[in-house]
Structures are given as C-alpha cells and as structure tokens.
Structure 1
Amino acid sequence: MEEPGFRVLLMESGCRKSEAIRAIRAITGLSLWNSKLLLDSAPVQVTEPDWLEAARHAAGVLAAAGARATVLCDWCERTVSREAGPLDPTPCRGPWPLEACRASGPG
C-alpha cells in the first residue's frame, strides 16, 4: 500500500531571519534571494511531500533557526508534531485503518 507524503509548512520566520534563510537554503537548495522570498511569503510550503522522518528533520532545522514550521500529512491534512503523533486527533482519510496511519501513531 502506498505511503502518504509529509510536507513542511513554514508558518513564521521568527526573529532570527538570517538563520531562517540559511535553514531554508539548506533544506531546499534555493538561492539566497529565493530563500528570502520564500521566508517573506510565510505561511508557505517549504518541501514537497516526503517521508515522515525527512519532514520532521526539515521542520527541526527550521525550528533550530528560530522559525516556526509544521509537518502536514499529505493525505489527511493533519498537523503532525515533530516528536510523535498528530496534533489533530481527527481520523486519517487515507486508505488504511487508523492504527496503520503514520500520522496517527507515535513516530
């Protein structure tokens, strides 16, 4: 069965903008200019759907730079915390039972 993707949304730049721009560059490979434009466009999607672990790592890099980022399940659109489990307890709308959904259980 196909796994859902998880994407990272940049919600706020935080007070350390230059560090956040460097974090965006490290995650996306964008130029300095495009990274700044992306940061100034918050809230904005930073990554394409990826594995849960990769999305959590990218959100952690942004958080370490002072930015606020969230991880969203591509199928159920629920916010997933970086530590474990969803922040939104609604059931998964994907093709599997709740206990099998990667966004529903601890990571």
Structure 2
Amino acid sequence: MDGRGGRVEEPGFRVLLTEAGDRNMEAVRAIRAVTGLSLWNSKFLLADAPVEIAAASWFEAADETSRILEDAGARTTLLCDCCGRTIRRGAFPANSALHTEPRPLETCWASGLPAAI
C-alpha cells in the first residue's frame, strides 16, 4: 500500500546480456527459450552483447530469465527500471542493501516508498 490506500506497483526489471561466455551454442538456445526468437535471431542477439534480452514487469520473471541465461554460460545484469541500479540476482528488491550502486533511493519503488508523498 502507498499510505493513501492505493496499491504500490512494483517497478519493471530489465535483463541485460552483458557477455556471451564460452558456451555459445547453449547461450543461443537459452536466449531462444526466454525470448521466443528464432535460432538465427538468437545467435545475432548473442553476437550483439551487451544487449537487453527481456523487460519483465516483475522481479521474479527477470531473475528467472537471468538464471536461465547464466546457467547456459552467459553473463547477465539485472537493472531496476525505476532507478537504473544493478540488482543482485536472487534477492528481492525491498531495500537499499540489494542495490549494488550507491545512489539516493528517495524515488526508487524497489527500495520502498519515497520519503515524501
């Protein structure tokens, strides 16, 4: 709740493919699995790293996408759409300790409500 009786929407989270890794074919198959792209387009996406793979509307989906890609040998980064910070995989973004960059959190919904509403 947002203090006014309304519901607080969770921010979106983006998954960036930062590096292909050393198991390219497995990474291409993982990209195909999470994006639904053809094998051909998945290969091009891998070659274009760093590139955004998915823009999920909730943290769990972004975390799962990142896990699938990393299990295939690729390197990923999770970003909070609200504040642009990198979020550690496996941790639900509810406070500043989960962000890896030191920026003010007054406006980040992933870190809680703004100081003044």
* 1:33 and 2:40 aligned: yes
Identity of aligned residues (%): 54
Instruction: Specify every segment of 5 or more residues in structure 1 that has no aligned partner in the other structure, as ranges.
Output: 102-107
Conserved in 2, the CA contact under 8 Å of 1:25 and 1:31?
A: yes
The yes-or-no answer on 1:51 pairing with 2:80 is: no
Name the CA shift for 1:95/1:55 in 2 (closer, same or farther; >3 Å). closer
1: CA distance between counterparts of 2:105 and 2:81?
10
Residues 1-107 of structure 1 aligned to structure 2 (within 5 Å):
1-84=8-91, 85-92=98-105, 94=107, 96=109, 98=111, 100=112
Counting matched residue pairs gives: 100
**SS of corresponding position for 1:46:** strand
Larger radius of gyration: 2
Query: Partners in 1 of 2:110 and 2:49 — Cα distance?
Result: 33
What RMSD, in angstroms, separates the aligned Cα atoms of the two structures? 1.8
* Structure 2 stretches lacking a partner, 5+ long: 1-7, 92-97
Alpha-carbon distance, 1:55 to partner: 0.4
Q: CA deviation at 1:46?
A: 0.1
1:75 positional shift: 1.0
